Amino acid sequence: MHVFCCFVYVEAITSDVVPTVGWSSVDFSFDGYNVTLYDVGGGSKIRGIWHNYYAEAYGFVFVIDASDETRMEECMQVIMTFFDNTLVQGKPLLM
């Protein structure tokens, strides 16, 4: 099972929370399933690679840092573009 996890970084609330730079993955077992979690950064420069993970993903976790209200429009545009991809449609999403 593959889960794509994208984080649209706006601004960290605390100094010990930092945005994902690039991407990383973690493999683990859960309830008898082998799971790969892809943590893909949400910065504008890395969003172009997101589509490379859509086909293999069984579900998505989309995290929005809402601490900067001035960037909510940007987040909405990113989400709409994400939903427009046919490889995303019909798959589970946790937001």
CA 89 – CA 2 distance, rounded (Å): 16
Mean pLDDT on 7-32: 63
Task: Provide the phi-psi class of 22: left if phi over 0, else alpha when psi is between -120 and 50, else beta.
Answer: left
pLDDT value at 83 more than 50: yes
pLDDT value at 85 more than 90: yes
Q: What is the CA radius of gyration of the chain?
A: 14
Mean pLDDT on 54-65: 84
Share above pLDDT 90 across residues of the chain, in percent, rounded to a whole number: 8
Mean pLDDT estimate for the chain: 77
Do residues 93 and 60 make contact, with C-beta atoms less than 8 angstroms apart? yes
3.40.50.720, 1.10.357.10, 3.40.50.300, 3.30.70.100: CATH of 2-94: 3.40.50.300
pTM of the model: 0.69
Q: What Cα–Cα distance (Å) separates residue 91 from each residue in 3, 31, 74?
A: 10, 20, 23
